[in-house]
Amino acid sequence: MGQWDTNTRSFKVNIRQRLIGKLKSKGCKFCLLESNPEVNKKKDSSKDSSKDSSKHSSKDSSKDSSKDSSKDSSKDSSKDSSKDSSKDWYKNITVTTIDNEEITGDIVHIVTDNAFGTNISNWFIICPGK
């Protein structure tokens, strides 16, 4: 695994060093969830809404099983769009980095709880928006 160096600290992370270099060259930054409680709120509300949509999806899929395949494909695309909208919480979000910089962008990697390859938890990588 790799080491993410910031202006003030270093972190052993579960990302390969070569990828860390590519992310940093794009301006991506290391952030802690404790410094950005709104990220947890958005992530948690997204989980709740995706659970609700999956309940509806499973009901819809049992009804759709007797329909022809052309109708099923249109249903699948609508399910995909509802899933995508529940995952948009990580896009175009403004956060504070570990170096106390404010950045707006997309979260590209997040670790909550314990994860293989890193001894820290509750952190994420954000890449600036275009």
Q: What is the pLDDT of residues 5-25, one digit of tens each?
A: 999 999 999 999 999 999 999
**CA–CA separation, 17 vs 8, rounded Å?**
19
Q: What percent of the chain clears pLDDT 90, i.e. is strictly above it?
A: 46
Calculate mean pLDDT across residues 24-48: 86
Q: Where are the beta strands (DSSP E) in the chain?
A: 2-5, 10-13, 29-32, 93-96, 102-111, 123-128
**CA–CA separation, 17 vs 20, rounded Å?**
5
pLDDT beyond 90 at 120? no
pLDDT beyond 60 at 69? no
